[in-house]
Chain A
Amino acid sequence: MKKISLFVTITSVAIVLTVSAFVAIIPHNANHYPLVTELYDGSANIVSAIYLDFRFYDTLFEVLIFSIAITGVSMYANRVKESGKILAANSPLIKFDLLFLGMVIILWGLYTALIGHLQPGGAFSGGAITASGIVVLTMAMGSEKIHKGVERFKLEWIENSILIIIVLYVIFADIPSGFFFPGFSVGKIGDFFSGRGALLLNSTIGFKVFVGGWLIFYEFSKRKESV
């Protein structure tokens, strides 16, 4: 059985490789995207304009998949019986260093998320960087102190209620620009308040990814089970 599966895999990969060697890539350029972005969106970062505006439904369902994954993780992590903890750093110098580093990483992540429509970055990478900052803080203070925050702030409720904001944005996104506040207008390219809903979406989705990353890390480090 193992030999057959190995044979099938290797032959199929070889077929794909040989076929792909003869396929020519047609020269392409979606040149309309820069133009359309300049006229209708106003973000300096065209990639951000695509995934926050022109193809926003992709991002919406991606965020849905992310929250479903978090729900599944917390469901199945509760079935694992034992619980454990990550100990705090022993030396006060290392503890201070890690605290400082964690704070800086969190600030960097917030900046990356907020400035995503002007520069490379954006909600997803910014949120993940902020969650990594939480991981560094956990190394400094120990998991018990940090993870009290999960219960105190009711992170799962926050994480799910952000979805409502995003869905409301989808419903009201086509309202003439500048209806709610200046961030919804196309604006001048390169300005902080430009790119329609980019600022709102970057901050909410970034916060959601941050909370989701924290929750996933919480569930994995709370359950101590050798693999």
Chain B
Amino acid sequence: MELNLFLSITIFGIGIVIMVLKRDLMIKLIGLGIVETAVTLSFVIVSHNGPLPPILTLPIDRVDPLPQAMIITSIVVGFAVLSLSLVFVVYLSSVYHTTDSYKLQKRIKKDEQ
């Protein structure tokens, strides 16, 4: 298997570890962004089977266009998800004055009593 694909899966794993280990919600979101970057990387690496970009006016040795077209969708959806979850984080921190997930859990539990 290609080294680069292996490395991009490693980046995926590191992003997941960041999302699990870090307690700050903002940093969890950045971990999600790293995971998205890794997925994009692996799609682009898989699609690379020719030297030229997928444009019709160029000669025939072009890369596979389908994975690239799909991953553009994923980038935009990732941005939508990021902005929506960021506004939730801002809202939570405006009420509870923290973005630490453990503290938030504790304070929300006390609020529900």
Contact = CB atoms under 8 A, between A and B. Distances in A.
A24 B46 CA distance: 11
Interface string B79-95: 11101101111110110
Contacts of A45: 54-56
B83 A17 contact: no
Interface of A: 2, 5-6, 9-10, 13-14, 16-17, 20-25, 27-30, 33-34, 37-38, 43-47, 50-51, 55, 58-59, 62, 65-66, 68-70, 72-73, 76-77, 79-82, 119-120, 122, 124, 128, 189-190, 209, 216, 219-220, 223, 225-227
Given A46-B54, A65-B80, A80 B62 contact: no
Interface string B38-60: 00000000100110011111001
Interface of B: 1-2, 5-6, 9-10, 12-13, 16-17, 20-21, 26, 46, 49-50, 53-57, 60, 62, 64-66, 68-70, 72-73, 75-77, 79-81, 83-84, 86-91, 93-94, 99
B55 to A, nearest CB: 6
Contacts of A122: 72
25 contacts: A9-B17, A13-B12, A17-B10, A25-B46, A30-B64, A44-B57, A46-B55, A47-B54, A47-B65, A50-B65, A51-B73, A62-B77, A66-B76, A69-B80, A69-B81, A69-B84, A76-B87, A77-B91, A80-B91, A82-B94, A209-B76, A220-B90, A227-B89, A227-B90, A227-B99
A10 B76 CA distance: 29
Contact of B2 (A25, A46, A72, A219): A25
Contacts of A62: 73, 76-77
A219 to B, nearest CB: 7
Contacts of B13: 10, 13-14, 16-17
Given A45-B56, A227-B93, 11 more contacts: A6-B17, A13-B13, A23-B1, A29-B50, A47-B54, A55-B70, A70-B80, A79-B91, A81-B94, A190-B57, A226-B93
Given A13-B13, A47-B72, A124-B72, A220 B87 contact: yes
* Interface-central residue, A5, A17, A81, A227, by most chain B CB under 10 Å: A227
A220 B84 CA distance: 11
Given A28-B64, A225-B93, A227-B99, A77 B87 contact: yes
Q: Which 4 A-B pairs have the closest CB atoms?
A: A13-B13, A69-B80, A50-B69, A46-B65
